[in-house]
Structure 1
Amino acid sequence: MVVCASHSPGMERDVDRVFGTTFRTGLARASSIVREFDPDYIVLFGGDHRRAFRHVVPTFGVALSAGIMAEAGHSPGALNVPQGTARGLAEHLLDSGIDISVCRDVQLDHAFAQPLRDLTGSVDAYPVIPLPINCATAPLPKAERVLAFGDAVGRYLSGTGDRVLVIGTGGLSHSPPSLEVDTYDISDEERARIIAEGSAAARKKIKPAWDKAFLHASATWDREALARLTDSAHADAGAGANEVRTWLAAGAAGGGVPLEPLIYEPVEEWITGMAVAVSA
């Protein structure tokens, strides 16, 4: 089963749940579907916001052990990574011609934590294999290679006989001020300053037409259209739209079945076009 969902720090800060009510409704539906599916474990494709990977940035990674950093009022936590399965996946990917980096004890941010909390209730509800994709630090992988990565993951999963939930998280259109600047090693204080100064402008950078085109291509699993939209995402839909690479990888890992949109809502207060889609 595949679920793809947007994430946003703004959603975390909206503790009174004032904004994004339409999106939250769709997210709750996806959560119910996930709980009914009750997977053996989760394979989670996520990006990084130059937090876990600053000086060495893997294009594709397989985490053999990982935790969640303290963020947005949440305490740090450990992920239960099924190491044998993760190791087998890493070996399969290398044998398939997909160059990956093996990561140990990597501390991941809300790109991984938020979808786990939103869809399963907590970061440790199920075992999870985190698969980082570079969506933030140029040069980025081309969509064709992301799809090949997802295809190879799917071939491994199909041979396990396991009940697996595949998650892709990020996007859709948005341009966070901290990702618009080409810097890799800034303090949390400097990051906060950049975000605060650019937040008003970022609210106006959502591109609903691009989002809908991407969701339509996902719903029909039009690989050519998805690749075209992804490779031009930064120019057409903002720096944060590069995260749709995780949707491509997740969909491909799920066998390329159509991803049915449950909801779409552009939420200016969260500076993001928010969507949820599930495999049909």
Structure 2
Amino acid sequence: MPLALCCMSHSPLLDLTEQPAELTADVEAALGQARRFVRDFAPDVVVLFAPDHYNGFFYRLMPPFCIGLRATGVGDYGTADGPLDVPWDLAHELAESILAADIDVSVSMGMEVDHGAVQPLEKLFGRIDSVPVVPVFLNSVAAPLGPIRRVRLLGEAIGRHLADRPERVLLLGSGGLSHDPPVPTFATATADVSHRIVTGRPASTTERAARQEKVIEAGSGFAQGTVPLRPLNPEWDQEFLDLLESGDLAPLDGWSNTWIEEQGGGSAHEIRTWVAAHAAMAAGGGYESTYRYYRPIPEYIAGFAVTTAVPKGAATA
């Protein structure tokens, strides 16, 4: 079964703010490279590894991993709302296969996905329903988090299962590298925010607009040096990308969650989506990188990267 990989950062500020022309053109060129890669590969289905930011998953029940058997975009930060085209049989069989591999994974008949899942689909395919998608949620925000080794094992189980299928599958990972945006934590949230991230109470239009404005102001202030968010860490980001490019993911097992947060910030745990996608690619027969873009972008509050990879030997075949 043919596999290909594309991983990219996402940011709620990508389409909500006007940035210098050079920055916008640079990021668009990287996304354009990814679009051409995906178009040339022409996947039959996408397996999408994505986090959530308390828009679809909440503390009332927070699984470490979840497969969406049906899924809908919530429409946050200007991204599209509405249903994704989830192939039921493939998603259900994937969940069964992961469980049979001794990896605990939940399933959802009503998964709600936010910009972390929707934005890459829009950037690469134009619409969220233009290609069949199996969404794989990885908790990357809500402590406590399991060890990153478990993420690697999840990815490997997915890759082994996909290796036996006939479809052309794009493994799509969506997450920032080093970044520490104003995402609430249960330990520090106000009583009202704590109630929302536990119960999943839908944000009102006013609350959603206020949250959006807060993030826009944080990005602008961070770029100008007036908002004291944790600095981006390009050196750590590049080390992570080097490790993925090497194809040897074993050293990741020694990366503790505490160390990841110290190096990259509270939302750096989104690298889990990249790890799962690359582990799946490795288990499917190995891979080699074909494209790599990286830029620390304070305006987006993110170490921003785009990468692609193909099966080992395919780039020179």
Q: TM-score, normalised by structure 1?
A: 0.92
1:178 lines up with 2:183 in the alignment? yes
| 2:80–2:118 CA contact under 8 A, matched in 1 | no
Q: 1:229 to 1:63 in 2, by over 3 A?
A: same
Residue 279 of structure 1: CA displacement?
1.0
Confirm or deny that 1:243 pairs with 2:270: yes
Deviation by residue 1:166-224 (Cα, 9 ceiling, x = unmatched): 10110111001124664452544574576467543366621111111111111102313
- Ranges in structure 1 where 5+ consecutive residues have no aligned partner: none
TM alignment of 1:210-249, pairs within 5 A: 210-229=236-255, 231=257, 232-249=259-276
Residue 177 to residue 208, structure 1, CA distance change in 2 (3 Å): same
Aligned mates of 2:184, 2:252 — CA distance in 1: 22
- 1:272 is aligned with what amino acid? A
| Structure 2 equivalent of residue 253 of structure 1 | 280
The AA in structure 2 aligned to 1:236 is: Q
Q: Is the 8 A contact 2:121 2:128 kept in 1?
A: yes
Deviation at 1:140, TM superposition (A): 1.0
Residue identity in the other structure for 1:253: A
Larger deviation, residues 9-18 vs 260-269 = 9-18
Q: Is the 8 A contact 1:150 1:250 kept in 2?
A: yes
Give the alignment partner of residue 265 of structure 1, picking from 286, 292, 295: 295
1:35 aligned residue: 39
Per the alignment, residue 88 of structure 1 pairs with 93
Normalization by structure 2: what TM-score? 0.82
Q: Aligned partner of 1:115: which letter? A: P
Alpha-carbon contact 2:17-2:216 (below 8 Å) kept: no
Largest Rg, 1 or 2: 2
In the other structure, the counterpart of 2:200 is: none
Q: How far did 1:225 drift?
A: 3.2
Q: Percent identity?
A: 35
Q: Which moved more, 1:160-169 or 1:226-235?
A: 226-235
3-state SS in 2 of match to 1:29: helix
Q: Is the 8 A contact 2:79 2:118 kept in 1?
A: no
RMSD: 2.2
What CA deviation, in whole Å up to 9, does each residue of 1:22-43 have, x standing for no partner? 2321111011110111111000
- Per the alignment, do residues 24 and 226 of structure 1 end up closer, same or farther by CA in structure 2, a change over 3 Å counting? farther
1:75, distance to aligned residue in structure 2 (A): 4.1
User: How many residue pairs are counted as aligned between the two chains?
Assistant: 280
Task: Evaluate the alpha carbon distance shift between residue 125 and residue 212 of structure 1 in structure 2; reply closer, same or farther with a 3 A threshold.
Answer: same
Q: Tell me if the contact between 2:117 and 2:174 (Cα under 8 Å) persists in the aligned partners.
A: yes
User: Which residue number corresponds to residue 168 of structure 2?
Assistant: 163
The verdict on how the C-alpha distance between 1:110 and 1:128 changes in structure 2, with shifts beyond 3 A counting, is same
After TM superposition, give the deviation of residue 229 of structure 1 in Å: 4.5
Q: Residue 234 of structure 1: SS of its match in structure 2?
A: helix
Q: Name structure 2 gaps, 5 residues minimum.
A: 198-202, 222-226, 311-317
Confirm or deny: 8 A CA contact 1:204 1:271 kept in the other structure. Answer: no
Q: 1:9 to 1:139 in 2, by over 3 A?
A: same
